[in-house]
Amino acid sequence: MSVAPVRPAGPAEPPDAVSGWFATRLGGVLVPLAATALAFLIGGLVVLITGSNPITAYKAIFEGTGLTWFFQLDLGGAPWTWWDLESEAANDLQQTLILMTPLILTAIAVAFAFRCGLFNIGGQGQYWVGFFAALYVGTHLEGTPRPLHILIAVVASIVGGGLWGGIAGILKATVGAHEVITTIMLNWIAIFGGAYLVEIGGRLQGPEPSIPRSDVVFESAKLWPIWGSRPALHAGLFVALFALVVYYVILNRTTLGYEVRAVGFNPEAARYGGISVPKNYFLALAISGGFAGLAGSIDLLGFKGAVSTGDFSTNLIAFTGIAVALLGRNKAVGILFAALLFAALQVGTSTRQLDPEVFEPALAVDLATMIQALVIFFVGAELLILYAWRARRFLTPQPRVTPELER
């Protein structure tokens, strides 16, 4: 009786594929964490050089972020009194979340363009165009019901920012103009144009003839406060979180997202596959600008309420959004945590928080900027290390293999 040979069972999935997927996922988490840790380590050395205790300084900065509010849980109290909503930590946490909101939106703007292989450095200009579109609507249409007034202002900001980003998109798609150059120029046009509108005698200047400041938007155009008194945490936080979901869905669950990612991965291969590269360049920058414009309206209607000429030199929220997108690896979850980190760092190092005996407040602001710069440097260094490792193969002399002579 013959017995059929038993074939050894092969692996359910190629080990290389599993290890490659795991390494990619793990690297996407470890690289930002390592970059952040190194940045804080070097920042601690700088604090030590200035004569302060880095552990004490970082502790004071952390307390200033308001994140300690989550550790004030009183398990013996009633559920609605577990946390003190009026404490100093609660107020600091409100400021952190208020700043985190536009950071999320400007980071999404940068990340969306990144996924198409584009560097949208014009988020600041798109932010201001959206800001002024919402400002115009918010200071007009008096008597409009609040939900409708807010909706019109928000839509106007998205359209304005999208059109501003679309200008760079059209130039990229038609004549190949580099988006970095065009968006930088559009930044200055938006900034100087906005300053012209609110300076003395400007079209949107407020009622005080000697103050270069816009009028405050009507109460019907302001976003609903959800926690605290003004400046209160507002409903814009939920808009930003919803925008993260929209960003993820567009990129991972739609045809547009597939085409955008394909163009970003390899434009030539995408073109060969029938995808219109110019169309996706335009759409990516237009959608990117829409997110940045939305950040402008949320910042105005939820927090600022008005703008003065001095704000154009101090408000650099979209440039910080570039760092947030880089640290977050252009992922929705990564952007959320990176925005929280950068917002907490800025609020925690603000001059109103720190005791001069612990750490000089003026130096703390510079420390926050330095840590942000170091984070960007170390995240970017990953690519440098990767290129150096690959170049090593070509620079290392390979032994010559000579075939054996047949006997």
Residue 10 reports pLDDT greater than 50? no
Mean pLDDT along residues 281-300:
96
Mean pLDDT along residues 92-104:
93
Burial of 6 (0-12, 13-18, 19+ CB in 10 A): exposed
By the 8 A CB rule, do 107 and 335 touch? yes
- Which residues, 6 or more positions from 88, have their beta carbon under 8 angstroms from its beta carbon? none
pTM attached to this predicted model: 0.85
Residue 146 reports pLDDT greater than 60? yes
For the record, the structure tokens of 324 come out as 């947030």
Mean pLDDT along residues 248-263:
95
How many other β-carbons are positioned within 10 Å of the β-carbon of residue 13? Answer: 9
Residue 138: the pLDDT is: 94
Residue 311: the pLDDT is: 87
Residue 353: the pLDDT is: 59
387 or 231, which is more confident: 231
Mean pLDDT of the chain: 84
Residue 150: the pLDDT is: 96
Distance separating alpha carbons of residues 96 and 350, to the nearest angstrom:
11
* Domain range annotation of the chain: 31-72+84-382
What's the CA angle centered on 32, arms 255 and 30, to 5 degrees?
A: 95
pLDDT band (50, 70, 90) for residue 401: low
Residue 355: the pLDDT is: 67
346 or 90, which is more confident: 346
Residue 222: the pLDDT is: 93
Q: What is the pLDDT of residues 212-253, one digit of tens each?
A: 989 999 999 999 998 877 678 899 999 999 999 999 999 999
DSSP state letters, 314-359: H--HHHHHHHHHHHTTT-HHHHHHHHHHHHHHHHHTSTTT--TTTS
Mean pLDDT along residues 188-194:
94
296 or 84, which is more confident: 296
Residue 315: the pLDDT is: 84
Percentage of the chain exceeding pLDDT 70: 80
Residue 292 reports pLDDT greater than 90? yes
pLDDT band (50, 70, 90) for residue 11: very low
Closest CA to 48 of 320, 379, 363, 317: 363
- 15-19, 328-332, 353-357 — most confident range: 328-332
Residue 103 reports pLDDT greater than 70? yes
Residue 402 reports pLDDT greater than 50? yes
Residue 288 reports pLDDT greater than 70? yes
Residue 232: the pLDDT is: 82
CATH number of 31-72+84-382: 1.10.3470
Residue 122: the pLDDT is: 93
116 or 229, which is more confident: 116
Percentage of the chain exceeding pLDDT 90: 52
Residue 211: the pLDDT is: 86
363 or 288, which is more confident: 288
Cis peptide before 212 (omega within 30 of 0): no
In 121-145, which ranges are continuous DSSP H helix? 123-138
